[in-house]
Amino acid sequence: MLYHLLYPLHEYFKALNVFRYITFRSIMAIMTGFFLVIWLGPAFIRALQRHQIGQVVRDDGPASHYSKRGVPTMGGLLILFAVAVSTLLWADLTNLFPWLLLGITLWYGCIGAYDDYRKIKKRNSKGLSARGKLLFQVAGATAVGLVLFFHPGFDGQLSVPFFKGLRPDLGAAYVLFAVLVIVGASNAVNLTDGLDGLATGPTVVSSSVYLVFSYLAGHAVLSAYLQIPFVQGAGELAIFCGALAGSSLGFLWYNAFPAQMFMGDVGSLAIGGALGAVAIIIKQEILLAIVGGIFVMEALSVILQVGYFKMTGGRRIFLMAPFHHHFEKKGWVEPKVVVRFWIVSVILGLTALATLKLR
Ligand code: 57M
Q: Whose CA is nearest to atom 35 of ligand 1?
A: 194
- What are the residue ranges of helices labelled H in the chain? 2-6, 22-50, 76-90, 96-121, 130-149, 174-192, 200-217, 220-226, 237-255, 264-281, 288-291, 293-311, 323-329, 334-354
Segment 158-182 mean pLDDT? 94
Residue 6 reports pLDDT greater than 90: no
Mutate to test the pocket of ligand 1, among 77, 190, 262 (most ligand atoms within 8 A of CB): 262
pTM: 0.96
CA of 239 to the centre of ligand 1 (A): 31
Ligand 1 near 65 CB (within 6 A): yes
pLDDT band for position 8 (cuts 50, 70, 90): confident
Q: Which residue's C-alpha comes closest to atom 7 of ligand 1?
A: 302
pLDDT reported for residue 58: 82
For residue range 88-140, list pLDDT tens digits in order. Answer: 999 999 999 999 999 999 999 999 999 999 988 776 667 789 999 999 999 99
Q: What stretches of 92-173 show up as alpha helix (H) in DSSP?
A: 96-121, 130-149
Peptide bond into 8 cis (omega under 30): no
Q: Over the chain, what is the mean pLDDT?
A: 95
Q: Are 291 and 210 in contact (CB under 8 A)?
A: yes
- What distance in Å separates the CA atoms of residue 165 and residue 76, rounded to the nearest whole number? 40
CA 21 – CA 3 distance, rounded (Å): 10
Per-residue pLDDT of 197-239, as tens digits, reads 999 999 999 999 999 999 999 999 999 999 999 999 999 999 9
> Which of 313, 177, 239, 309 shows the shortest CA–CA distance to 30?
239
Residue nearest to atom 4 of ligand 1 (CA): 264
Ligand 1 pocket mutation, candidates 191, 193, 251, 319, criterion most atoms within 8 A of CB: 193
Percent of the chain with pLDDT over 70: 99
- CB of 338 within 8 A of CB of 195? yes
Residues 6+ apart with CB under 8 A from 238: 22, 23, 26, 211, 212, 214, 215, 218
For ligand 1, atom 38, which residue shows the shortest CA distance?
Answer: 65
* Contact call for residues 229 and 159 (beta carbons, < 8 A): yes
Q: Do the Cβ atoms of 109 and 82 come closer than 8 Å?
A: no
Pocket test for ligand 1, best of 53, 58, 257 (most atoms within 8 A of CB): 58
- Check residues 61 and 46 and name the one with the higher pLDDT: 46
- Residue 318 CA: which ligand 1 atom is closest? 56
Looking at the DSSP bridge assignments, the partners of residue 151 are none
What pLDDT, in 10s, does the model give residues 220-231? 999 999 999 999
Distance 321 CA to ligand 1 centre (A): 9
User: Residue 93, by phi and psi: left (phi above 0), alpha (psi -120 to 50) or beta?
Assistant: alpha
Residue 355 has pLDDT above 90, yes or no: yes
Does residue 142 surpass a pLDDT of 80? yes
Q: Residue 7 has what pLDDT?
A: 83
Cα–Cα distance between 346 and 348 in angstroms, integer?
Answer: 5
- The pair phi, psi for residue 96, each rounded to 5°, is -65, -35
pLDDT at 128: 81
Distance 165 CA to ligand 1 centre (A): 41
Residue 195 has a pLDDT of 98
Alpha carbon nearest to ligand 1 atom 9, residue: 191
Residues with Cβ within 8 Å of 63's Cβ and at least 6 positions away in sequence, in order, are none
